[in-house]
Structure 1
Amino acid sequence: MLDVPRTTDTVLMVRPYDFGFNEETGIDNEFQQPPLESEIEINKKANIEFDNMVNCLRAEGVTVLILEKPEKAYIKTPDAIFPNNWFSTEHDGTMLTYPMAAVNRRQERRPLDVEKLLNKNGYKVRNVINVGCIDENERFLEGTGSMVIDHSGEIVYAARSKRCHEDQFDNFIRLRFYEEGILFNTKSSKGTPIYHTNVMMSIGEKFSVVCLDCIYDPVEQKRVRSSLERFFDVIPISMEQMEKYFCGNILQVNSVKGDPLIVMSKRAFSGFSEEQLTKLRQYGKIIPVDLTTIESVGGGSARCMMAEIFSEKTKL
């Protein structure tokens, strides 16, 4: 095990300046629902939800860095609100960018802008690395959407899908020298692969929420559970809790004072049982935020909106 934390007190979020229904990602994201309202109204609601979430996090002592709309001309990016799919950071100061499956999502990648934002706020970026080829068209790996990383245990969990290619996953494990990569197959209630691992699994400092039922192979399911139980209090959720309530798409963060917080949507909060909530509260204060529009139209929830910043911070 590494002597590094699994959670952080800093997240980067991207303002939803272009937010709307993405038809390209809707092909394999069963969580997306085409809206009945106008694009302008949907975008307005998404921005209100975004600002409320940022305010809630900051009120609890979490450092939130906001990447604003690009100043120069750009191509429309309806899913830019979910930055953890295209970049991640690690404790040694490395920032990684990832190959995206949807063509219109590849335009979200703004590594220079992120690096400038981190540097401005006193975070060290020592290296910027592309995982795979920058123009990859087959072997995709969508960051901490496709992978759930146990930084301390040096284990990476990932569900196979169009957005998580086995070769690229192996490439990432070797590139970052993780001890173990656990790749497994999943099925939704409709029989299709879960599009991102982070909608069916979350890892905190001492707990893990996971939908084991969607891992249909008994051997793979046992391997995942046994691995998680080595380090975590495992809290299983049902298929309904994952698909209807986004209970798997939650994230533990910390305040700058070190207080543990568990961020989730109000929908997820309503989906957990009282027994599960009681157990979660042992590991941190629960912060529920209203993400009704973002969840329904974007097909992602609270965890998807936060890119964790593990980079070392220096005095400004």
Structure 2
Amino acid sequence: MKQITDSILMIRPVAFRMNEETAVNNYFQKGTAAANDEITQKAQFEFDTFVSKLRKVGVNVIVVDDILENDTPDSIFPNNWISFHQNGDVALYPMFAENRRRERREDILDILEDEGFVINNIFDYTKAEQDEIFLEGTGNLILDRVNAKAYCALSPRANEELLIEFCEDFELFPVIFHAYQSVENERKLIYHTNVMMCLADDFAVICLDTIDDKKERKLVISSLKEDNKEIIAISETQMHAFAGNMLQVEGTFGKRYLVMSTTAYNALTKEQVDKITAHCEILHSDIATIETLGGGSARCMMAEVFLPKKDN
């Protein structure tokens, strides 16, 4: 079992903007006075630059264009509606915002099969939307694939019962907690676990300050230590600069990179950078428009493809 992959699915935006349907509980989103055409052009430039940086180090990036008619402003974040697993399983997830449900596209599975990937089984959890039950993929689920665990901060977008069902289906142990951020002097649940936690092969970048309950914090720390993960703690201020929203990937010759935004990189201290680079190189790209309006960063833009390849 592998923790990181060299294959990534990314969706190129065609009509990117701030999604009014997600802003109700994504406190990272901020509006702008810029026109939508201008926003989309900026987002496309940031996206293309990011993709080319990944490809330059040998990451296999499968780029699929968004569909204009679908009116899916958040399609650039595919990791929320789908996940791909090493045994050929695919999971489809129930989404909180109605306009995000249109991001799910069967043709993407066909594209991956055309790329030589094998899909054996599809776990479809999307019916839960009818009961207002949500679990937004690897936005909510931080998967430790090697140690068979799923870390999850419960929120309006992460239902505990559905999380447990997912863990049973995928034979994972759930590590469940609550994570909060300060919004106008109130502690509010963080919408996605992956903005406060990143799990790499032998370390974790995590904002422990968001886990207000001491018992829950202790549980998360002991779970990470049990698996010999070095814990690199970030502050809540750094988390707000997307320093928790990172993903480790594999490039040419198996070389590992921790991928993040330039905003996140600039928020890190020298000591934190040194701790990360003791494990792997850092790759960062400027995606400020996408972060500001989308309320998600580098990790959210990458859906890892762990599917097996066809035997040639």
Whether these two folds match at TM > 0.5 is: yes
The residue number in structure 1 matching 2:66 is 69
> In the TM superposition, what are the counterparts of 1:146-157 in structure 2 within 5 Å?
146-157=140-151
Q: Tell me the secondary structure at the aligned position of residue 244 of structure 2.
A: coil
Q: Distance in 2 between matches of 1:164 and 1:69?
A: 25
* 2:212 matched residue in structure 1: 216
Does the alignment pair 1:41 with 2:38? yes
Secondary structure of 1:23's counterpart equals coil
| Counterpart code for 2:70 | I
State TM-score, norm by structure 1.
0.95
1:134: how far off? 6.1
- State the 1:210 CA deviation: 0.5
8 Å CA contact 2:79–2:300 kept in 1: the answer is: yes
- The residue that corresponds to 2:175 in the other structure is 182
Contact 1:18 1:80 in 2 (8 A): no
Deviation larger for 276-285 or 196-205: 276-285
- Aligned partner of 2:167 among 162, 169, 173: 173
CA–CA distance in structure 2, aligned partners of residues 280 and 137 of structure 1: 41
For residue 136 of structure 1, report the CA deviation from its aligned partner: 3.1
What CA deviation, in whole Å up to 9, does each residue of 1:108-156 have, x standing for no partner? Answer: 011x212111111111111122025264341100000011000001010
For residue 185 of structure 1, report the CA deviation from its aligned partner. Answer: 1.1
Question: Helix, strand or coil for the counterpart of 2:9?
Answer: strand
Partner of 2:93: 98
Which string of whole-angstrom CA distances, capped at 9 and with x for unpartnered residues, describes residues 224-251 of structure 1? 01101122111011100001x1000000
**Separation in structure 2 between the aligned mates of residue 197 and residue 266 of structure 1, nearest angstrom:** 20
AA of the residue aligned to 1:44: Q
C-alpha deviation, 1:283, in angstroms: 1.5
Return the alpha-carbon distance in structure 1 between the equivalents of residues 66 and 180 of structure 2: 36
Partners of 2:95 and 2:126 within 8 A in 1: no
The Cα shift of 1:188 comes to 0.4
Q: Does structure 2 retain, via aligned residues, the 8 Å contact 1:98–1:132? A: yes
Structure 1 stretches lacking a partner, 5+ long: none
Other-structure match for 2:113: 119
The number of aligned residues is: 308
Q: Which position in structure 2 is the counterpart of 1:290?
A: 286
* In structure 1, distance between residues paired with 2:282 and 2:131: 39
Identity between Structure 1 and Structure 2 (%): 41
C-alpha separation in 1, matches of 2:130 and 2:112: 26
Distance in 2 (alpha carbons) for counterparts of 1:279 and 1:177: 32
- Give the distance between the partners of 2:59 and 2:192, measured in 1 at CA: 25
Q: Distance in 1 between matches of 2:156 and 2:307?
A: 29
Output aligned runs, 1:262-273, within 5 Å.
262-273=258-269
CA displacement 1:20-76 (0-9 Å, x = unmatched): 010110010010001121111011000000000000000000000011234xx8430
Secondary structure of 1:221's aligned partner: helix
Contact 2:94/2:125, CA 8 A, preserved across alignment: yes
Contact kept, 8 Å, 1:246 with 1:301, in 2: the verdict is: yes
Q: Which amino acid is 1:277 matched to?
A: V
Instruction: Write out aligned runs for 1:235-274 (5 A).
Output: 235-243=232-240, 245-274=241-270
CA displacement, residues 143-170 of structure 1 (integer Å, 9 cap, x when unaligned): 0001100000101000110100111111
> What is the distance in 1 between the residues matched to 2:71 and 2:128?
19
Offset, 1:314: 2.9
- Aligned partner letter, 1:187: Y
Contact 1:99/1:136 (8 A) holds in 2: no
Rounded Cα–Cα distance in structure 1 between residues aligned with 2:171 and 2:235: 33
**1:159 matches 2:153:** yes
Tell me which residue corresponds to 2:136.
142
**1:26 has 2:23 as partner:** yes
Q: Secondary structure at the match of 1:235?
A: strand
Q: How far did residue 262 of structure 1 move?
A: 0.8
Q: Distance in 2 between matches of 1:135 and 1:296?
A: 27
Letter in 1 for 2:174: G
Letter in 2 for 1:130: D
In the alignment, which residue of structure 2 is the partner of 1:194? Answer: 190
SS in 1 for 2:279: coil
2:275 matches 1:279 = yes
Relative to the length of structure 2, the TM-score reads 0.96
